[in-house]
Chain A
Amino acid sequence: MDISYPPEAEAFREEVKDFLAEQLPADWPGIGALDEEPAWEFSRKWRELLAERGYLSVTWPREHGGRGLSKLHQVVLMEELAQAGVPFGMPHDTFGVKMLANTLLRWGSEEQKKHFLPRILAGEDVWCQGYSEPDAGSDLASLTTRAELDGDEWVINGQKVWTSGAHHSDWIFVLARTNQEAPKHGGISFLLVPLNQPGVEVRPFRMMSGQLHFNEVFFTDARTRADLVVGGVDNGWTVAQSLLGVERGEEAATNPILFKAELERLIELARMYGKDRDPVIRQRIAWCWAKVETMRNLGYRILTGWLKGAAPGPESSIAKLYWSEYHLQVTDLAMDIMGMHAQVPVGRPPLRTFRADDPGAANSSGSWSTTYLVARSGTIYAGTSQVQRNILAEKVLGLPREPRAAQK
């Protein structure tokens, strides 16, 4: 057993550390210490810098503007950024750099790669993801948004929902039904659709935390070029599935860093409120500590398999279920530590919409109470806890599948 990284990864770590030391002030507390506007300003500049130095495209091949390095290098980069309290790009890069670019690298045509990858890297195109629909959540493959060929264009009709950041995006990658006759999973295509056109309407809506993040996206005879289908017509389900797990190795390494920093902040919160001598609170803090440390060690086990070339499999469900269920508990503990003060939010909410607030953020009721609310979404998005348990029971434990309802 050896949980150290190989020398080439450690050499890269030194490079990243040098870069961070050169770019950030010595007393940099983390982006959380900035107010909202300066934080956005910092993020925009920081993103440009990362793109310029090739840190947004570490694993991309050189011919597409990447550095051609390994997945482990990417993990090391993410670890160091998380430790330093700086973001990996802007929030939309989750969809552009992480999801779509990796999909194009795997499935895209040469023209698609040549056109879109440099634009994603430069931040010229901002992307969002059009998967879920009002009647297709956990059962995504029952989606009904449809696309039909009309000459050299797809004509799209239907509705997407939970579309993160669509109100700031230029493009959306959409799963749409292109074959009504094929079986449920077989008639879906992965389409690239410009948002700025008359047939697309984006309506933001507010989350229970009060933040604007999600949108409904309505397609009414919206159009996109016939060649903007990725991975072949009717092959969209396979294309979308291959994306799952792309981020898991990174998350296995970075989640424990993020949540450890959050827990250290919570311990400080307990001291601030004089609760650190309370035996019940001490028990709950120790329980959380054990969970976060174990998250790290589970991560090493996942990373070990991932680096040995095992395809990302159902163990990603373990990681997702683990952190999201944990986060319900730790945020609840924060509320209990603050007591009556918790229900009077003071101070700004977290800058990032999901998971923990950023390093450096004020230890305020405004920060924690929003995180507490947002944590309730963690067990729903990207596969509910119930879906994850089904996956674990069926794919890992080999239990029989639930009998399916007859298809329409």
Chain B
Amino acid sequence: MDFAFDEDQEELRRTVRAFLEATAPEAETRRTMETEAGYDQALWRRMGSELGLQGLAIPEEHGGAGAGPVEVGLVMEEMGRAMLCAPYLASAVQATTALLHSDDEEARTELLPALAAGEQVATLALTEDSARWNREGVTLTARAGADGGWLLDGHKTFVLDGAQADVVLTVARATDGIGIFLVAGDAPGLTRTTLPTLDLTRRQARLEYRDVPARRLRTRGDGWELVEVVLRHSAVALAAEQVGVASRALEMAVEYAKVRHQFGRAIGSFQAVKHLLADSLMEVESARAAAYAALLSAQNGEGDLPMAASLAKSLCSDASVKVTQDNIQVHGGIGFTWEHPAHLYFKRAKTSQLLLGDSAYHRELLAQAIGV
């Protein structure tokens, strides 16, 4: 019985935290979120070459560390704490999971080493204007072209880091079912537009496809099954990120409540504030327990992953929105300003709650998974 990270995992956490504190303080987040790319490419390469963060879940023969979802989740948690601007969820989780669980060793050999090293970025393009996370939402079409290739027509939107990615794994409808197609970021016929996002620390893009040449990723069975696997692993990783976002927001609120004085007392000595923060602590601890259980389930490839993923996604998202919102409340007027970081955490929490399906959607999936 040891529901805690082991020593290697704790060492990884300490390393990542120290690295991010040194290289990505708030000032860097604010600088980076205003840049066109939305992330620091030099830092991304260092994360790959010095720490190997992008390749944690990638086997050693493809240039990774051969660890798994627990380690990836731990990194997501730390990146959430640091409010890092980086395409980690898109590239190291979504695209990497799709490749790892595909039946396409050739694609793995070709793409994974560059992703692991931080030399390239990949993403998954699934949602369209209907903003649906299910199979029916996929209307972009794939038709067979010359010499075994494919041509894609349609659009995708809300694509994480879609304007920056070197490779876009595009979910499309072919005559024989749903497939995942590898599209180069600079492919002819592909138009990419960065969307104005509420959360400036994670880029999204709209992609228009006009006869875009693509290669089909080989999958076991229908491609949608693989998309579901990717969505579950992404939900678990994002839940872990929410734990980091929420726990840092709680720390901020507690630090402030100890030093801010009104009526001659630290505001944290008033029960109205104490109870708000105690409830936030409950939310953070619950979210942590749910996220870690889901990471363990993802790591062990257990059959309860659909349940654990939807549970963690809804519970951790709701917790993070509440805690980041209460952080603003505890800070009072200053918490509502652009200068204070509280809004960065709140916006990340809320947009992540909506991303990959909102909490009501995941609770319905959970109800189905438990047989109701």
| A contacts, CB < 8 Å to B | 1-6, 9, 72, 267, 270, 276, 279, 282-283, 285-287, 289-291, 293-294, 297-298, 300-301, 303-304, 307, 318, 321-322, 386, 388-390, 392-394, 396-403
Contacts and interface: CB of A to CB of B under 8 A. Distances in A.
Interface in B257-288: 257-258, 265-266, 268-271, 273-275, 277-279, 281-282, 285-286, 288
9 contacts: A279-B364, A283-B363, A287-B363, A294-B289, A307-B1, A321-B282, A392-B278, A393-B278, A399-B274
B286 A399 contact: no
B146 interface: no
Contacts of A394: 274
Nearest 7 CB-CB pairings of A with B: A393-B274, A389-B278, A286-B363, A297-B289, A300-B3, A399-B268, A400-B269
B372 A4 contact: no
B22 interface: no
B257 to A, nearest CB: 6
A2 B2 contact: yes
Contacts of B2: 1-3, 304
Contacts of A303: 1, 3
B367 A282 contact: yes
Nearest to A2: B2
Interface string B249-261: 0000010011000
A300 B364 contact: no
A301 B3 CA distance: 6
Interface of B: 1-6, 9, 70, 254, 257-258, 265-266, 268-271, 273-275, 277-279, 281-282, 285-286, 288-290, 292-293, 295-296, 299, 311, 314-315, 360, 363-364, 366-367, 370, 372
A134 B111 CA distance: 72
Q: Which of B270, B299, B370 has the most CB of A within 10 A?
A: B370
B1 A290 contact: no
A293 B282 contact: no
A297 B311 CA distance: 12
Given A282-B372, A393-B275, A401 B1 contact: no
A287 B318 CA distance: 11
B277 A393 contact: yes
Given A389-B274, A389-B279, A267 B269 contact: no
A398 to B, nearest CB: 7
A397 B254 contact: yes
A294 B366 CA distance: 14
B372 to A, nearest CB: 6
A396 B266 CA distance: 17
A76 to B, nearest CB: 10
A304 B275 contact: no
Contact of A301 (B268, B289, B370): B289
A39 B273 CA distance: 47
Nearest to B294: A297
B290 to A, nearest CB: 5
Given A286-B367, A400-B266, A392 B4 contact: no
A386 B275 contact: yes
B269 A3 contact: no
Given A283-B363, A400-B266, A301 B4 contact: yes
Contacts of A399: 254, 257-258, 266, 268-269, 273-274, 277
Given A1-B70, A1-B296, A386-B275, 18 more contacts: A1-B292, A1-B295, A2-B1, A2-B2, A5-B1, A9-B1, A270-B372, A286-B366, A286-B372, A307-B1, A322-B282, A392-B278, A392-B282, A393-B268, A397-B278, A399-B266, A400-B265, A400-B266
Contacts of A397: 254, 268, 274, 277-278, 281
A6 B372 CA distance: 34
A297 B3 contact: yes
Q: Which of A6, A9, A283, A390 has the most CB of B within 10 A?
A: A283
A274 B279 CA distance: 35
Nearest to B296: A1
A6 B290 CA distance: 23
A400 B372 contact: no
B282 A289 contact: no
B284 to A, nearest CB: 10
A269 B281 CA distance: 33
Contacts of B360: 283
Nearest to A397: B254
B46 to A, nearest CB: 28
A62 to B, nearest CB: 25
